[in-house]
Amino acid sequence: MEDHDREPRGHGRRRFIATATALGLGSLAGCTGLGGVETETETDTADGGDSVGQIGSGRSPFGDRELSGGVSITEMPDLSGELTLYSGRGEALVGELISFFEEYYDDFTVRPRYNSAAELVNQILTEGENSPADVFFSVNAGALGALKDEGRTQTLPTDVLDLVRDEFHDPDGQWTGTSGRARTIPFNTDQFADSDIPTDIMAFPETEAFRDNIGWAPTYSSFQAFITAMRVLEGEEATREWLQGMQDLGVSEYNDEFLVAQAVADGEIGAGFANHYYIQRILAGRPNAPLATAFTSGDAGSIFNVAGALVLDTANDSELGANFVRHLLSAEAQDYFARTTFEYPLVSGVDPIGELPPIDDLNPPEGLDLTQLSDLEGTVRLLREVGVL
């Protein structure tokens, strides 16, 4: 590492999150699906003047709640026509929301295609001007930035962009975030105390307590976005040494970050790297699990990434595409993301679910533009060079 001879940095206070209320769900499984969990679909259609209410049953233990902020669907332009959606978000997580929009508007049809964000980006680029895609819905900002870099996007209306803070949408207006996720360190409370977990991501390879006792999911897009952020913030060589150091430490590999968090809860490993909501999903079904979440501070390990959407240059109806993106930022959709995916809503006035710190209390790295996370190709190349992939 760049500071290999220094003392391990960043052991100290941090904030922990845990859901203390029981929920009668089985163990939630998978990164794009939630095994064995069924939800009710909101089937009531409504006129523009009717109250929408809560979309879906959600998976949180908190049930219905009042929405005091955001813009309601009832105040947004109607959706009418056909829209082809390329979704890098799994159907099990967002399909219910998309179905609701179709049911709410009599003359609106969505034709979704689900796949990984990376695969869909490649598909859009391969299809070129013949792509049928109108809107791209991504699990991370890097994929959105990649399409912007290729000139495949349209500028969103200012009043859509203004629904979220500046740091959560593209500075050129080509895409907007729709929900957020914080990078975190899930840890087993039977094995570690709060003071045992470094607050500096670069200190982890030097922490002997993690030897053969920490996990990651290197094929997972959010992990690769995290490594991309490290490359931007720390440099290529320091990132290479961090990756090698983690391998030398005996890091365990998992297929996705839910499995990382689950392994921590089961005591299979003591800690790991994962987005915040995987911990929340486990605690929703297992509130007494010895699982808590730590945050690093001001580094790649504390990036706040966003899922988001954009309108493609091949859109048949740009206005319909923009209004669909607008609906993803409605108060009701933001509440859906909070309750169903345990993500952070990005619209002011719609709070996250669970004992999560407000966005303003997180400590992401200063000066990191989410558009800088678009170079996933360079990250994959580095991961292969050091033998992680």
Averaged pLDDT for residues 112-139:
95
- Between β-strands 252-253 and 214-216, what pairing exists: parallel, antiparallel or unpaired? parallel
> pTM for this one?
0.77
Mean pLDDT of the chain: 84
Encoded tokens for 254 = 């998992």
What average pLDDT does this structure show over 318-343? 95
For residues 209 and 188, the answer to whether their CB atoms sit within 8 Å is: no
Q: 96-100, 120-124, 126-130, 280-284: which range is least confident on average?
A: 280-284
The number of residues making up the chain comes to 389
% of the chain surpassing 70 pLDDT: 82
> DSSP string of 39-97?
-PPP-----TTS-----S--SSTT------SS--GGGSPPP-EEEEEEESS-HHHHHHH
> Tokens for 213?
């006792």
Which of 341-366 are b and which e, b meaning 16 or more Cβ less than 10 Å from the residue's Cβ?
bbbbbbbeebbbbbebbebeebbbbe
Strand-pair category, 291-294 with 214-216: unpaired
Q: CB burial class (10 A; 0-12, 13-18, 19+) of residue 106? A: exposed
Q: Computed from CA positions of residues 257, 263, 264, 268, in that sequence, does the dihedral angle turn out positive or negative?
A: negative
Q: Looking at residue 172, what is its pLDDT?
A: 95
- Give the pLDDT confidence score for residue 191 in this predicted structure: 98
Q: Give yes or no for residue 273 having a pLDDT over 70.
A: yes
Q: Is residue 40 pLDDT above 60, yes or no?
A: no
Q: State the Cα–Cα distance between residues 228 and 276, nearest whole angstrom.
A: 18
Provide the b/e sequence for 231-269 (b: ≥16 CB within 10 Å): bbbbeeebbbbbbebbeebebeebebbbbbbbbbbeebb
| Greatest extent of the chain over all pairs of C-alpha atoms, in Å | 66
Q: Which residues pair with 182 in a beta bridge?
A: 304
**Which 3 state secondary structure label does DSSP give 260?**
helix
Listed residue (328, 331, 278, 323) closest to 308, CA to CA: 328
Q: What's the pLDDT tens digit per position in 355-388? A: 678 888 899 998 888 878 878 889 999 999 999 9
Which has the closest alpha carbon to 164: 180, 181, 177?
A: 177
pLDDT tens track for 7-28: 333 333 233 222 222 222 222 2
User: Picking from 35-39, 87-91, 272-276, which range would have the lowest pLDDT averaged per residue?
Assistant: 35-39
25 neighbors 61 (Cβ within 8 angstroms): no
**Nearest one of 207, 317, 215 to 259, comparing CA atoms:** 215
